[in-house]
Amino acid sequence: MSYRPHSYYAATANQAAPFDELDGDMTADVCVIGGGIAGCSTALHLAEKGYRVVLLESQHVGWGASGRSGGQAIVGFASGHGRLIDAVGLDEARRMWQISIEGLNLIEERVTRHAIDCDLHWGQMHTAVKTRQREELLVEQQELQQYFNYPVEFMERDAVQQILATERYCAGLYDERSGHLHPLNYTLGLATAARAAGVRICERSPVLKVEHSDPALVVTERGSVKARFVALCCNAYVDGLETTLRDRIMPVGTYIVATEALGEARITELMRRNVAVSDINFVLDYFRRSADHRLIFGGRVSYSGLDPFNTARATRKRLLNVFPQLAGVRIDYSWGGYVDITMSRAPDFGRLAPNIYYAQGFSGHGIALTGVAGKMIAEAVAGQAERFDLFTKLRHRNFPGGPLLRMPSLVLAMLWYRMRDWL
């Protein structure tokens, strides 16, 4: 299988029956491109509506961010609610916020209905590293209540330390409705449910081109799919397929490690609640417990697309900034991958043609938003596009610099935000 070496998720993946390659020409009502959460959710919702669906994945189901991420299912949007309100107004922002909550509810519904074994737990905390961030969390709590009637609990240092055995954080914002899971097993569970609902899933079938016609034609190396509709769910891996979409997102490398199994007593001593945690630095640290009592910790990003330092060593150093008591603990797994961000950090949904839909730019909030995005694409294909079209009101700009210079330009711009984390 083509999962990255040393991924804890790949090592603990549930067994699923293999999927064939596309070999020959097919017809379908809808062709979905991309075998992550977004693609599998889109395919599953369409099949449940009675559509004939073919899903094409260039590698394996869950090969991208859906099978490598930190696994945190968080309410809202990476852009922040302030930018959302400025972009579409308070009423529309409230509708979007409710859809983000629906994304969390959809995870629970799918896990229950399809008996997906993915170590799902509820509870998530954003943490402040410095006094300035403590004030930001207080404002966040007030605004979430004021604008969205969404309750979160503000915690001072002592209360945070009742949950986390670390002195790093001076405050926290606890959300009982967000949570975390094993992302690869969740994705595989959605794919298994989609296949049971009648979806034809083809792995190792990279798409070479999509002809914008009616019906559309999706061409691979060994076959094609003629379909009334196409749904592009490629996210960070759309490069080379649709340049219009590529230019509006940036693949950002992120890196994660998993410690050796610490045992239930020790991991519970570190994290007294089984919650997901992330600080609010621009280059943030995030971590959670695993089912077999490891600490899964992510803490580095690469805007250059390169990983010039040893991932395990550099991420371990950040881990020890939070939990210095783990100095002697072994790192068993180290891996990385790409998430796709937009300039505004708001999701980018839309159409390339009347019958070609896309969803991308989840900017680190993909565990919950990708699933409900798939549901909305299915609604739009079925003629109920109001909710999908709500998100098309979010305007997006290309990253500056074009194909050659956009990455160096972003690296320079991000230096400012990294410096701000240090202040």
For residues 299-319, give the mean pLDDT: 71
Tens digit of pLDDT for each residue in 37-84?
999 999 999 999 999 999 999 999 999 999 999 999 999 999 989 989
- At 227, list the tokens: 């379909």
Query: Does pLDDT of 91 surpass 50?
Result: yes
What pLDDT is attached to residue 4?
A: 46
- At 319, list the tokens: 């881990």
Of 136-140, 351-355, 363-367, 397-401, least confident by mean pLDDT is: 397-401
Three-state SS across the chain? Answer: CCCCCCCHHHHCCCCCCCCCCCCEEEEEEEEEECCCHHHHHHHHHHHHCCCCEEEECCCCCCCCHHHCCCCEECCCCCCCHHHHHHHHCHHHHHHHHHHHHHHHHHHHHHHHHCCCCCCCEEEEEEEECCHHHHHHHHHHHHHHHHHHCCCCEEEEHHHHHHHECCCCCCEEEEEEEEEECCHHHHHHHHHHHHHHCCCEEECCCCEEEEECCCCEEEEECCEEEEEEEEEECCHHHCCCCCHHHHCCCEEEEEEEEEECCCCHHHHHHHECCCCEEEECCCCCCEEEECCCCCEEEEEEEECCCCCCCCHHHHHHHHHHHHCHHHCCCCEEEEEEEEEEECCCCCCEEEEEECCEEEEECCCCCHHHHHHHHHHHHHHHHCCCCHHHHHHCCCCCCCCCCHHHHHHHHHHHHHHHHHHHHHC
For residues 368-379, give the mean pLDDT: 98
Q: Which long-range contacts (CB under 8 A, 24 or more apart) does 158-166 make?
A: 160/125, 160/127, 162/272, 163/125, 163/271, 163/272, 163/273, 163/275, 164/125, 164/127, 164/270, 164/271, 164/272, 164/277, 165/269, 165/270, 165/271, 165/272, 165/323, 165/325, 166/270, 166/322, 166/323
The C-alpha atoms of residue 258 and residue 165 are separated, in whole angstroms, by 18
Query: Does pLDDT of 1 surpass 50?
Result: no
CA dihedral 138, 140, 143, 144 (to 10 degrees): -120
For residues 279-288, give the mean pLDDT: 92
What pLDDT is attached to residue 251?
A: 83
Query: Does pLDDT of 308 surpass 50?
Result: no
**Domains observed in the chain:** 8-408 (3.50.50.60)
In sequence order, the β-bridge partners of residue 154 are: 173
In the predicted model, what is the mean pLDDT of the chain? Answer: 91
Residue 202 CA: distances (Å) to CA of 18, 66, 156, 169, 189: 9, 17, 50, 46, 16
Query: Does pLDDT of 401 surpass 80?
Result: no
Query: Does pLDDT of 255 surpass 60?
Result: yes
CB 262 within 8 A of CB 294: yes
Query: Residue 293 — very low, low, confident or very high, per pLDDT cuts 50/70/90?
Result: very high
